[in-house]
Each structure stands twice: as structure tokens, then as C-alpha cells.
Amino acid sequence: MNGCLIVFEGIDGGGKSTQLALLAEALRAAGHDVVTTREPYGGSPAGRRIREMAQGNEAVSPETELAWFLEQRRDHVREVIAPALERGAVVLSDRYYLSTIAYQGARGFEWQALLEQHESEGFPPPDLVLLFDLDPGAGLARVEDRKGVAEPVFEETGLLSRARAIFLAVDRPYMVQIDAAGSPDRVAEAVSRVVQDRVGLLPSPEDRDTKET
């Protein structure tokens, strides 16, 4: 596959979707074919079941939840991610398999085993994972500002603290931590710098200066 897969990860309320939209705009301005997508993937029946569950109050068993996340991911990869990478696009995904490692790990599954399972199943590995790190309390406050109320199934401080610890413990060369506590502008600058350093794709600051003058 020739494209590039950049994933936005981290606990809820870290500003992933805002930053994803900003990066998509910058990459398109630089002439790239950009596909933006997200998980839970709404094109999949399992993804829709997850969203319904998250909005209601009724949690399913951790085993069922894990099975649904895997099912929606297979649909997502087959229908969206793999075809886009094959035609050489840059894919920006709001969440991908590290969310399962962290959140379902936080529910009690052994996260190292989940990671190995994902790596051996043939899901395309990300080229870059931007991990938006912040304190769960700060994240939940942002979620509540945005939605009025947190989704009780996933957005709970204990679960988010455990998920955050797992995100931080994953040791893979594609992981880069971004401090999500700063202003959106500063976080966007950090994102551009990391994307430029790790995968190129954006004009370097010197090129931008030359063009502007």
C-alpha cells in the first residue's frame, strides 16, 4: 500500500477532531488526496450498535463490546482505509486500533495481547499515531462543555485514567505524544511539526516562508 495512515488517539476531550480537521485542511492545501474518517465507524452495523450503546445507559459485557469494536474495524479497514491507502491517499482517522488496546485494556483485557492480536490480524499498521495526552479530569470537563453531559459508558474518570496509562505505555515507533492541554493553535503547531518530521507531506517552515515573501 502506498498511502499514509495518520491516526489521532487519546482519551475523550483532547481535541482530536478539531486537530484532525485542521491537519486535513493543511494537507489538502499542500495538494494531497486526503480521506478523513473515524471509529466507531458508522458505515458498519457493529459501529452503529456501539454508538447506540454509548448514548444509552446500558453497557454490554466487555466481551461483546470488544467483539463489536473488532467487527466495526474490519468493516472500516475493508471499506475505507485499505482502498484509500491503495490509491495512495493520506488517511486521517479519529481513533483506530490503539483505542481498543487502551479502552478495552482499561476494561480488563490484557492490553499487550490485544496489541499483538491487532498486529497479527493484518490491519494496516499506522505510519504515525498522534497521541493527544491530557488529564482525564480536564478531558471530561471539555466533553461536558461540548455535549452537555458525558457518555456514561465510556466517559468516566477511572476508566479514562487507566486508558491514558495504557496509551502512554504502548512502545511502538509510530507513537508520538502531543500535549493536548495547550491552546488549539499551539497544539496545531505541534501537530504540524511532528507530521513534517515523521512523514514529510507538509511544506517545511522555510518553504512556507519563501512562498510567502
Binders of ligand TYD in range 22-41 (CB under 6 A): 39-40
Between 145 and 184, how does the x/- string for binding to ligand TYD read (CB under 6 A)? ------x--xx-----------------------------
Q: What whole-number distance in Å separates Cα of residue 120 and Cα of residue 24?
A: 29
Rule CB under 6 A: say whether 93 interacts with ligand TYD.
no
Tell me the one-letter amino acid at 42.
Answer: G
Residue 9's SS3 state is: strand
Check binding of 123 to ligand TYD (CB under 6 A). no
Q: How far is the CB of 153 from ligand TYD (least distance, A)?
A: 8
Residue type, 207: D
Beta-bridge partners for 175 = 129
Ramachandran category for residue 204: left, alpha or beta (phi over 0 → left; psi -120 to 50 → alpha): beta
Give least dist CB 87 to ligand TYD, A: 24
Percentages helix, strand, coil for the chain (3-state, rounded to 5) are 55, 15, 30
Q: Which member of 100, 129, 134, 170 binds ligand TYD (CB under 6 A)?
A: 100
* One character per residue 69-88, x = contact with ligand TYD (rule: CB under 6 A): x-------------------
Distance CA 91, CA 6 (A): 6
Span interacting with ligand TYD, options 96-104, 122-130, 172-180, 191-199, rule CB under 6 A: 96-104
